[in-house]
Structures are given as structure tokens and as C-alpha cells.
Amino acid sequence: MQNIGEFFKHTLITGAGRIRCARCTAQSSRTKLQCGRPALKTSKTQKCQFHGGGLTSGKQTLEGRIRIAAAHYKHGESTNAARAEYSRSSATLSKLEDTMHLLKMTTAPRTRGRKPNGYKPVRSTHDVIELVLDIEKH
């Protein structure tokens, strides 16, 4: 009988006895019973998807994380550098909009929503001069 107990401890029979698979080896800390779910095929430690089934948690070193962040693409088209350039351009456009309202060049409502990173509001003619010099520099 000991062999049958060991068989059921490591094997799970489902599908009316037609499917045999490895059983999750995780144990409950409260009831001390073994998990009853099937283990993932990719799991080296025979765990189910809830108990650490097999996918890695990613790079753990700082160099590895920096390398992944540098190579990361969003939607396969834009890199981190392209997104930063887009944010800078959006901040410049928001500053130009502030300038137009300050100099009473428009009566249109302001653009709604969150302002981009790097945005500093233009509130005086001194800020307008700084904006123009910054645009000429770049």
C-alpha cells in the first residue's frame, strides 16, 4: 500500500481516469496537505501556476535590469529614447500654448489632460524669452 500512496502523492489522475499528470508538490502551511492542482510541464520543481510554476522573475542584478530597460520596446516601434524625445516635444508645445495665451494671441481653450514630463508653465515675458532662446539653442 505504501507504493500506491507514493503514486497518488506525485501523480494526479483527471478526466475520468484518462489523464495522468504530475501533481503540485506545494504544501499548505495551515492544513499541512499537499496542493491538489496539476503541476506545470515547464516547472522544474513540480509546482502549479499558483505556487511558482516556472516562469522566471527576471534579471536580479542591476546590470541585467539596465540592459533590459535599454533594449525595451513599446509596441515594437518606439524606444525609450524616442519616448523621451516625444515628451520633450510635447512639453515645448505646451509651453508655446502658454505663450500664446500670455500674449493674447488666441482665445481658444487650453489643452486638457496631464502635462508632459519637463513642462514648466510660462507665466511672464521673461519665461517667453527663455523659451525662445532654448528653442533656438536646440
pLDDT of 70 higher than 80: no
| Average confidence score pLDDT of the chain | 82
- Mean pLDDT in residue range 12-33: 83
50-67 residue pLDDT tens: 887 555 667 778 888 888
Q: What's the half-sphere exposure (Cβ side, CA atoms, 13 Å) at 105?
A: 7
Whether residue 56 lies inside any domain: the answer is no
Residue 125: domain span: 81-137
pTM of the model: 0.47
**CA dihedral (82, 85, 89, 91) positive or negative:** positive
Whether residue 127 lies inside any domain: the answer is yes
Q: How many domains does the chain have?
A: 1
Whether residue 107 lies inside any domain: the answer is yes
Whether residue 122 lies inside any domain: the answer is yes
